[in-house]
A and B are shown apart, each in its own frame.
Chain A
Amino acid sequence: MSQVVLLDNEAVRALRNPTHPKHRRVVAHAQVVAQRKRRAATIEVAVPSAVRVEAGWDRTASAWAFPNRLRITDIPLDSVHANTAASIRNRTGVPVADAHLGAVIQSEPADRITVVTSDPDDMRLVAGHRQIIVVAI
């Protein structure tokens, strides 16, 4: 079974900042992913690029060195995702980053999708009919 763990803006910010109140919590999720990878589980952590923009994650900036080293995959806002995200945004009025998250969720080929988020309701809203696991931080 393949699994992808998606991070929202708050999760990304928490991961970057050791003084963030949710830092240890998000690090724990990253640690579990690392341990499962070592056991050859097909699991990865990913972040939609619009979320990265919203969180201010510049991969060339030294302030982001720790998240950069965790092999968190970028999911670009390509043409197909942009169309789906626009549709989600028109329908729900969520921010652009959440709309991109929704587009990623709806097109993600992984068997299991987990979203680490501070806004569980919006994630369920943008997921549409796709079954997701929501981790509220």
Chain B
Amino acid sequence: MISVKAAWQGNGPSVWPSSTASLGGMPSDAMRSRSRNCTTGTWYSCTVQRAKAIERINHLLDNRGPETSNTSMRIPTALRDAAALAVQELGVAPSATALTAAALRAALEAAVMQAALDDHYERHPDARPNLGDLAVAAAELDGHPLAHEPGRIRQAAAEIVESHPDAGPDDVVLWAEARAHPAA
């Protein structure tokens, strides 16, 4: 059983992704960390534990009830003051608490989505999109004109990884665009 309280206090099980970085379809830090921690014998229980954690986090994120809790979370003073100022002067949120909760929710939603994808890639390696696939998808989602030229985008992906192995899909689309419209 995963203890939410223990994890919140920093001594829970290591089911929380240390980072969700997974640019260009490469394995995320969380996945690499998991591979190190899970031996063959414990792989199954690790996987089940992680899947349960993902489902539990999703369930908790879906619960938008009015119940609130006081926490003793310590955050850097400068960050707290910046948040207060942003609320007061920029109107970015109704309160610093609302701003913090929204940022935390967004971070958790991104993390849990990436964790679900990483698990899926582990079970189905063929499903993992490569950088070219991701760049085409990014262009398509934005309605970019080059979305109709996937070959050009894939070519750009193949070129860019040689010099920038950490390039992301949006970098590739930008590179493909630059290649398509060279300066006069």
Question: Are A and B part of the same complex?
Answer: yes
A53 at the B interface (CB under 8 A): no
Of residues B20, B109, B110, B141, which shows the largest number of chain A Cβ atoms within 10 Å of its Cβ?
A: B141
| B113: chain A residues within 8 A (beta carbon) | 30, 33-34, 37, 69-71
User: A25-B133, A38-B110, A133-B143 known; A30 and B58 CB under 8 Å?
Assistant: no
Given contacts A69-B55, A71-B61, contact A37 B141 (CB under 8 A): no
Residue tally, chain B, CB below 8 Å to A:
41
- Chain B residues 75-134 with CB under 8 Å of chain A are 103, 106-107, 109-117, 119-120, 123-124, 126-129, 133-134
Instruction: Count A-side interface residues using an 8 Å CB cutoff.
Output: 28
The total of interchain contacts (Cβ-Cβ below 8 angstroms) comes to 100
Instruction: Report the bound CA distance from A35 to B114 in whole Å.
Output: 8
Q: Which of A5, A38, A40, A133 neighbours the largest number of chain B CB atoms within 10 Å of its CB?
A: A38
Partner pick for B117 among A25, A34, A40, CB 8 A cutoff? A34
Closest 10 CB pairs of A and B: A69-B116, A133-B143, A28-B129, A37-B110, A28-B137, A38-B110, A34-B113, A135-B140, A18-B124, A28-B133
Residues of B within 8 A of A (CB): 20, 22-23, 25, 51, 54-55, 58, 61, 103, 106-107, 109-117, 119-120, 123-124, 126-129, 133-134, 136-138, 140-143, 147, 168-169
Query: Residues of A at under 8 Å CB distance from B?
Result: 3, 5, 18, 23-25, 27-35, 37-38, 40, 65-66, 68-71, 112, 114, 133, 135
